[in-house]
Every structure is written in structure tokens, then in C-alpha cells.
Structure 1
Amino acid sequence: MRQRARDLGIRIGTADTGPANAITDVAGVRVGHTTIIRGDGPLRVGEGPVRTGVTVVLPHDGVLEDEPLYAGFHWLNGNGEITGTAWIHDGGMLTTLIGLTNTHSVGVVRDTLIDLERRGRGHGSWGLPVVGETWDGVLNDIDGGHVTAAHVREAYEAATRSGPGDAVAEGNVGGGTGMICHGFKGGIGTSSRVVEGGWTVGVLLQANHGRRERLTVDGVPVRIDDVPRPVAPAAEGAGSVIAIVATDAPLLPHQCRRLAQRAGLGIARTGGAGENFSGDGFLAFSTANRGRLPSDAPGTEPPRVFQVDVLADAYLDPLFHGVIEATEEAVVNALLAAETMTGRDGVTAYALDPDRLLEFVDRR
């Protein structure tokens, strides 16, 4: 069984983690994966080999359109796609489920999430699902259309069956199945922090970014040059990373956006730079005011006046640091959880050896 950073004695930052050290430490947030691994050998488009999947994040256990959440979004570098974020930018609310998958499967995931939300309401509804992507074409038959509506529903059902605070599978799972990070096998990673004031912040990311020679863990450069790379060094850094940040702190949309920005600092601490060909997007949402935000249809009379709880901007710094630390640790957890994988045309992405990592990073 692969280990996480803290299993190795690597403690990043100063704040404590939540019980699961995962995004699910934020009450109500749940995660489900569908992993698709099939076939070996030369690439035959439409047949495989297949190394991909889908991850679904449930921000809470209700219907998002009926009980929206304040949210914010930030691009570090925009060579990627996250649907639904234009309205989050303008309207400041998250009204749908969240999906993560490969670049060419965004459409089927988005359409299926609309169908799932319609069924949840029992009638037609308006929705702009949030679906983020990273490119897994180095290992996967990405043009083959292997992610189907059934896979999205399976990931959604897995999320609904999970309990409060459950551990989240990491590495070669869900949308992260075929991903590569800093020249090693990458994938899904997560971490959390409980900060001053008792607020919890959790990060889940799909790591498919970075260059081998820039990998840094807890401030220490990690220089492992004798492990074969799945792509030429010049091609590294052309991947992407998508991060989802959740918190129970009562935040307004502009504050959520500021939290999302700090995920980029966590990526930078591991050696990521938002390279030109990388799509690095970060979404943050707050669960604190669930049930208080208006979901009225246009024309509802009289106009609604509502009250929400808000944390003053002056008290955001602990949350900022929590996001930075949790993002950095989530990248390390993704690398440590991932296992060596051989994909299309025999291309192999090797796992980061924890013993080799500890040659550089001190135990604490």
C-alpha cells in the first residue's frame, strides 16, 4: 500500500490537519471516483489502451440549485478548460456538482451532471456544471471517447454513498488515473488544515503538471535524475493542475476567489510555475451559508433581502496559509499515492519512490 506524506514523517507547514487530512474534512463535502483501466500495447484509437476516469465532488448533500454556495475562481494559467466558471466569476455562486476528467471527456461529464441534477430536482432545471480537465494523452487513448455517462453516474453514486469525513482515494484513480506530475506518475491528491478560529479548509487536486528538475518538497529540491521519464524533459511542464478548495469559514465570493488564488502558491512551493502550455485553474467555495442564499426564480415578488455570516477580510490570513499548505501536501500525496503505470505504446510513468524522496527530505 502506498503511503502519504505524513506516513513518512513529512509534515508540511504548521497547522494541524483534519481527521481524514482530506477535502472531506469540510462537513458535507464528498468525493467519488470511477477508474477505467483497460488494454495494453500499441494505441488503437477507440479501442485503447485506456487509462482514464472521472471524479465527482459533491459540495453538500442537497440540490445545489436550491441551496447554492458562495464561490470564487482563479486561473494561474489558462491553457485548459473548466466549464461553468464564467458565471461563478460574475455571479459568485456555485450552483452545480463538480467533475474532473480528461481533456476530451469534458462534454460527456458536463452533460451527465446536468442529467443527474435534473433527476435530483424531479424536473427540468437550469445549470452550468463545473467540469475541469487535464490531459492524459501520454498514457491514455484520449481520443477514444472511453468516459461514458455510466462512468459519471458511477462516480456520483460513489460520492453519495460515502460518509462524512471519509478518506479519499488518491493517485491513479478517477480523473487522475492517467496523469503525470513532475515527470513521475501523478493523479488525485488531497489534504486539509484546521486553522485559527476553528475553520477547516480542504484541497483536492488533479495533478498533471510540473518539471522533474523543479520538484520541491517542504522547501527542499528533490533531484532524482536516474528514473526514466514518460516524456522528454523538454515536454514536461505542458500538463495542468486543477484544484478544488472547500472551507466551512463564512466567506463572500471575493474572499473565495482570494482563497482560490492561494492554491497557486501551494503549486509554486512544489516547483510548479503555471507554464505557458499548462492549464492551472482553482475553484474555492464556502459551505457556511448553505440554505441562506437566494435561489428565487426571476420575477419573484417581493425582492428578497437576506442575511449571511461573513468573516472579516482581516482574519483571512490563516485560511490563506491553510490553502497553501494543504495544496502543497496534496501534490505530494498525489505523487506518493500514485503507482507506476504503463499505458499506450508501452509508455511508462514511474512512481516516486518514497525512500528516494526521504533521501532529500528530513523526517520530523
Structure 2
Amino acid sequence: MRIRELGVRIGRGMPGRFNSITDVDGVRVGHHTLNIEAGDASVHTGVTIIEPRAGLARSQPCFAGCHVLNGNGDAAGLEWIREAGWLATPIAVTNTHSVGAVRDALIAAERNEVKDSVYWCMPVVLETFDGILNDIWGQHITVDHVRRAQADARSGRVMEGNVGGGTGMICHEFKGGIGTASRVLPPAEGGWTVGALVQANYGRRDALRVAGYPVGEVLRDIHSPFRDTAGGRRGEAGMGSIAVTLATDAPLLPHQCTRLAQRASVGVARMGGGTEDGSGDIFVAFAVGNSNLPVTDYTRIGKSSTVVTMVNNDHMSALFMAAAEAVEEAIVNALLAATDMTARGERAEAIGAARLLSALHETGWRSTRMPV
């Protein structure tokens, strides 16, 4: 179940065919999920891969930017994006203690492709903390798991909820995980697509808003893994993080990608997030609209300049709105797709479609049916 299927409208824009980050042509997503019951050592985690373009990323680089709303988290590979605005690897999302293992696995995969070329790669790996439901200290993600996620990468519909890197995540004290959505601009505004994929693992229950309605106030007394814990208090409400990847086919330059990434903050804020010290809120945006960017190769001297195109600043507002709406809807989709999980003596309940609709009605919302 996804939020549009319930007749709930998030913003004013229209989604793409799959209402997914894969509506941006060439973008592919793959997951590998681990669910192993072993008492307090239970494993509920995974890795999610986002490929900016089908095939080897190094041979088809794209411009990118990033933004950190709150830095209580970590990421690999962002410094070169900040410096050069360059993305030449897939983006991976996993749990906090597996960033290094996933980075190393992506480097190994790249090495198999480039052989002895004089080249380096700095993979982008984002994380959120799943240590309530997952034995995060066990560092269970391996090279093989990353390879399986890469092999699973495809266009079209994207699995959401308890899958890949989102397997053990908690969002607004409900079960969270992976979510995605997209917006397609009208031809008069450029006709470009903006897609978002989130790993949602942040937020307090009482702050939760859906389509602007304060459903968290209605649902505040539902079981919380931070408040009603069988195994004792393991954390505090609002701790966690959210990792957001934005993709667009608009021809953006690096500084414009950074501006787009900043607008993920708006989507998170509309949901009631972005104000917790214990949440790492890190966002990456890439643009595939320039398809002729040169490949870095230090075995030979390439051409000294490349002609690129860019969106004029007076057309950026529509892209900003699309990014904010896509992120907001992706988070709701993550909540709705998630299913209950009990692990390590704790329980995270899914928000569920019926419970969400009931809370929306109680706060004054009325259905406005729309195309799915």
C-alpha cells in the first residue's frame, strides 16, 4: 500500500510512471536483505544500491551535490562531491557500522572492471542506525551481500519498507525503512523528473504529520519501541537518522545539485522531522542531464574542456518544489510499506493503512481521489 492509493495527496505535483526514483531514466535500485533470528544477536539489516546510470558508473559520471542538515551521522565519499561536484560510483545505503564494509565492497567491484588502470574511486555510502532491532555491533554486511544488491539493481518498481538498508529501521517510533516517490514537471516548467529514495529512521511520534495533518498527536499512545520496551530503555524517541538520495534528469551543474539536495530538508520538515540532535540527516542529489562528461583516466591526457548545459535559475523553483514533495511522499510510502518487526526483545509496529486513515479523518482530513 502506498499513500496515493489511499487517496491522500502530498503536495500538488504529479508523480512519474512508477512514482519512484527510477522514473529518472537510467536510474536503477537494488536491495539485499538479511533477516536472521538469534535472540539478542538477531540480524535485521541490509544494503540498498542506487545506480545513477545503468552500467559502470565510472564510464558515465554525473554532476552531484550534497547537504547535511544535522551531522549526527556519517557518510563516505562526500568530500569529492563537495569539492568537484562529481559522482562516478553507485550510491549505497546501509547501517551505521557497515559503511566501511560496503565502501570496500564497492571498491572491489570497481577494481574488477578497471583492471590496472591508473584510477581511484571513492564510493558514496550513506547510513542510518538500526541498533534497536539489529545486532549492529556484529557488522554482518559482507562483500557478497553488496554484490547481491548490485546484481538486484533494476529500473521500474522499487521494493519499499523492511528491505535492504531499511530492514531494521524505525521512523517516528513506527517501523520505518526504504521509501521512494517522484514528481514530473509540466512541459512549461521544463518537463524534467525528480525522484527521491529515503532510508527513514528518524523522528518523534507526536511530531508526525502526513499531508500537513498532525496524525502523530492522535497516534501518540500507540506502542513505541523507545517507550514500551521489554528489554529496557535502549534509546530515546527521535534518535536515528534519515538518508535521502535525489535524482533528476534536469541538466544541473554541481552547485545546483547542492541546492536541490538542500530542499530535501523541506520534505523532512513537513513530516515533522529535522529538529532532533540525535538524528543524522544527510542528503545527496545527482543530475544525469549532462551525458557527455569526461571519464577521468590518468593513463592519458584528455581534452581540456567540455561543453555542458544548465537549467536557468528562474526554472529552479519548480525543481525545488518537486524535490520537497518527492521526499515527503517517499517517507510516507516507507511508513506504509513497512511491516511489524519484533527482534532483540523490542517491537516496532507498522503504522498501517487503516490506522493512518483513521488518524487522518480524526484530524479533519477528507479524501480527494486522484490517479495512482
**Superposition TM-score, scaled by structure 1 size:** 0.93
Q: Quote the offset at 1:121 in angstroms.
A: 2.7
Comparing 295-304 with 268-277, greater Cα deviation is found at 295-304
Which residue of structure 2 aligns with residue 279 of structure 1?
A: 280
Distance 1:69 1:352 in 2: 37
Q: Quote the offset at 1:205 in angstroms.
A: 0.6
Which residue of structure 2 aligns with residue 198 of structure 1?
A: 191
Residue type of the alignment partner of 2:325: E
User: Any unmatched runs of 5+ in structure 2?
Assistant: 229-234
Which residue of structure 2 aligns with residue 146 of structure 1?
A: 140
Q: Write out per-residue CA displacement over residues 199-233 of structure 1, whole angstroms, 9 at most, x where no aligned residue.
A: 00000010000000000001100120232101139
Which residue of structure 2 aligns with residue 4 of structure 1?
A: 2
Q: Quote the offset at 1:299 in angstroms.
A: 8.4
Residue type of the alignment partner of 1:136: D
The verdict on how the C-alpha distance between 1:301 and 1:54 changes in structure 2, with shifts beyond 3 A counting, is closer
Distance 2:246 2:316 in 1: 14
Distance 2:161 2:302 in 1: 50
Q: Secondary structure at the match of 1:316?
A: helix
Which residue of structure 2 aligns with residue 95 of structure 1?
A: 88
Q: Quote the offset at 1:66 in angstroms.
A: 2.4
| Conservation of the 8 A alpha-carbon contact between 1:274 and 1:280 | no
Which residue of structure 2 aligns with residue 295 of structure 1?
A: 295
Q: Secondary structure at the match of 1:137?
A: coil
Q: Quote the offset at 1:294 in angstroms.
A: 2.3
The verdict on how the C-alpha distance between 1:353 and 1:327 changes in structure 2, with shifts beyond 3 A counting, is same
Residue type of the alignment partner of 1:226: D
Q: Secondary structure at the match of 1:37?
A: strand
Which of 54, 63, 74 pairs up with 1:70? 63
Which residue of structure 2 aligns with residue 32 of structure 1?
A: 30
Is 1:249–2:250 an aligned residue pair? yes
Q: Write out per-residue CA displacement over residues 1-55 of structure 1, whole angstroms, 9 at most, x where no aligned residue.
A: xx100111111111110000000000000000011001143x1xxxx21110010
Which residue of structure 2 aligns with residue 212 of structure 1?
A: 205
Q: Secondary structure at the match of 2:269?
A: helix
Distance 2:178 2:309 in 1: 32
Distance 2:246 2:47 in 1: 18
Distance 1:85 1:24 in 2: 22
The verdict on how the C-alpha distance between 1:245 and 1:183 changes in structure 2, with shifts beyond 3 A counting, is same
Distance 1:230 1:299 in 2: 54
Q: Write out per-residue CA displacement over residues 290-318 of structure 1, whole angstroms, 9 at most, x where no aligned residue.
A: 2x222243585475121011111110111
Residue type of the alignment partner of 1:156: Q
Q: Quote the offset at 1:267 in angstroms.
A: 0.2
Residue type of the alignment partner of 2:12: T
Which residue of structure 1 aligns with residue 269 of structure 2?
A: 268
| Conservation of the 8 A alpha-carbon contact between 2:183 and 2:195 | yes
Comparing 27-36 with 274-283, greater Cα deviation is found at 274-283
Q: Secondary structure at the match of 2:238?
A: coil
Which residue of structure 1 aligns with residue 353 of structure 2?
A: 354
| Conservation of the 8 A alpha-carbon contact between 1:76 and 1:274 | no
Aligned residues between the structures: 351
Q: Secondary structure at the match of 2:239?
A: coil
Which residue of structure 2 aligns with residue 330 of structure 1?
A: 330
Residue type of the alignment partner of 1:358: L
Give the 4+ runs in structure 1 shifted more than 3 A: 122-125, 296-303
Which residue of structure 1 aligns with residue 131 of structure 2?
A: 137
Which of 214, 218, 226 pairs up with 2:221? 226
Q: Quote the offset at 1:63 in angstroms.
A: 2.4
Residue type of the alignment partner of 1:157: A
CA RMSD between the two structures = 1.5
Residue type of the alignment partner of 2:7: G
Distance 2:299 2:82 in 1: 23
The verdict on how the C-alpha distance between 1:301 and 1:52 changes in structure 2, with shifts beyond 3 A counting, is closer
Residue type of the alignment partner of 2:273: G
The verdict on how the C-alpha distance between 1:103 and 1:339 changes in structure 2, with shifts beyond 3 A counting, is same
User: Any unmatched runs of 5+ in structure 1?
Assistant: none
Residue type of the alignment partner of 1:343: A
Comparing 233-242 with 142-151, greater Cα deviation is found at 233-242
| Conservation of the 8 A alpha-carbon contact between 2:20 and 2:197 | yes
Which of 165, 172, 176 pairs up with 1:182? 172
Which residue of structure 2 aligns with residue 172 of structure 1?
A: 162
Aligned identity (percent) is 52
1:86-125 superposed matches below 5 A: 86-124=79-117, 125=119
**Superposition TM-score, scaled by structure 2 size:** 0.91
Q: Write out per-residue CA displacement over residues 248-277 of structure 1, whole angstroms, 9 at most, x where no aligned residue.
A: 000000000000000010000000024211
Distance 1:342 1:149 in 2: 27
Distance 1:247 1:75 in 2: 19
The verdict on how the C-alpha distance between 1:296 and 1:273 changes in structure 2, with shifts beyond 3 A counting, is closer
Which residue of structure 1 aligns with residue 231 of structure 2?
A: none
Q: Write out per-residue CA displacement over residues 127-167 of structure 1, whole angstroms, 9 at most, x where no aligned residue.
A: 000000000000000011211111100000000xx2x4x10
